[in-house]
Structure 1
């Protein structure tokens, strides 16, 4: 089955179209998750290699100027020693545990939005389609990340290509016309931005609280 999915990945990546997705489409959620978890494990290993080749530059708390000592020590510790070093086995276990959870949520949102716009596809078909390109693209991005300067450019190009393939996969997996598939993607973008802003505000408030606590001492 893995070989069949690899063939499907090669097909949709080299001949991207709704017809190509429908050619390789299967209602198989289980293998979609297995395929994606394998990609997550590979990415975890590549991340460990990347850290070994390009360790982060340590931050000297004394170079942070007027930053409160507690915050400076925290920032310095995040880039040195064990705090910065990714544990390969922990990353692999994390990929096995969290990849299915994250993907089920993401695919579930896509499926729900597709249904809301009148799509009648099956969840397993949509998940299978998404995994055919999502899994290999993340691995390709991790490999390019090993190359200085090229990694950022490749990541942007892969992001754009991933969006296009998502647009096609939604049409095939949910049996939606192009305009409604685009609406699904735009709404997902809005949801992602909202979640990102929430995280930003949370960390901003946390840092502000640390600075305030240090100033009151």
Structure 2
């Protein structure tokens, strides 16, 4: 496929591709879809997950005294896509510069969106259940790491396990540092005034 190919994947296509990736997790499954969409489609798909998460969080914000409804909406609509871009950007940069990965950023973003979106929506839905929030977050995080490992192998063409793992770890550190800073700024702007 040439660099000038226009991607045509719709949200419906991406849901189907997500289902296939989750049902048959392997680098080969990711390979089937990595060039069917690009950065634009990945961002639209992630924005959908952010909107769903924001709506769910806003509905349940009144039950949490420390965050306002508007705060939930705005922070999730900004934070989820921003953290996705930070993480996938770090995967791409680490994979390319440290391990000579041959994938493109569009392939990385699209591949990661295919598992990130359904898992983040599932995590938000289940996470609203009292006492399950922390457990769900831990399980979803582990599942995302597994799918991320497969996606790195596919999107960056890093078949060596060590290279794929180091790429994920470095991307995770970058995501944590930058994501934490962005989250703190947003929470300071939109946190409710308890008391």
Fold conserved between structures, TM > 0.5: yes
- 2:13 corresponds in structure 1 to 4
Question: What's the counterpart of residue 206 of structure 1?
Answer: none
Higher mean Cα deviation, 187-196 or 20-29? 187-196
Give yes or no for the alignment of 1:24 onto 2:6: no
Residue segments in structure 1 that go unaligned for 5+ positions in a row: 58-78, 200-217
The structure whose Rg is larger is 1
TM-score (norm 1): 0.70
How much does 1:181 deviate? 0.6
Judged with a 3 Å threshold, the aligned counterparts in structure 2 of structure 1 residues 99 and 143 are, in CA distance, closer, same or farther, namely: closer
- TM norm structure 2: 0.77
Provide runs of 4+ in structure 1 moved above 3 Å.
90-102, 189-199
Distance 1:98 1:187 in 2: 20
Tell me the equivalent position of 2:58.
Answer: 48
The counterpart of 1:179, out of the listed 158, 162, 175, is: 162
Alpha-carbon distance between aligned partners in 2 of 1:7 and 1:169, rounded to the nearest angstrom = 17
Find out whether 1:37 has 2:37 as its counterpart.
no
Q: Tell me how far 1:156 sits from its aligned partner.
A: 0.8
Alpha-carbon RMSD across the aligned residues, in angstroms, is 2.5
Structure 2: gaps spanning 5 or more residues: 1-9, 183-195
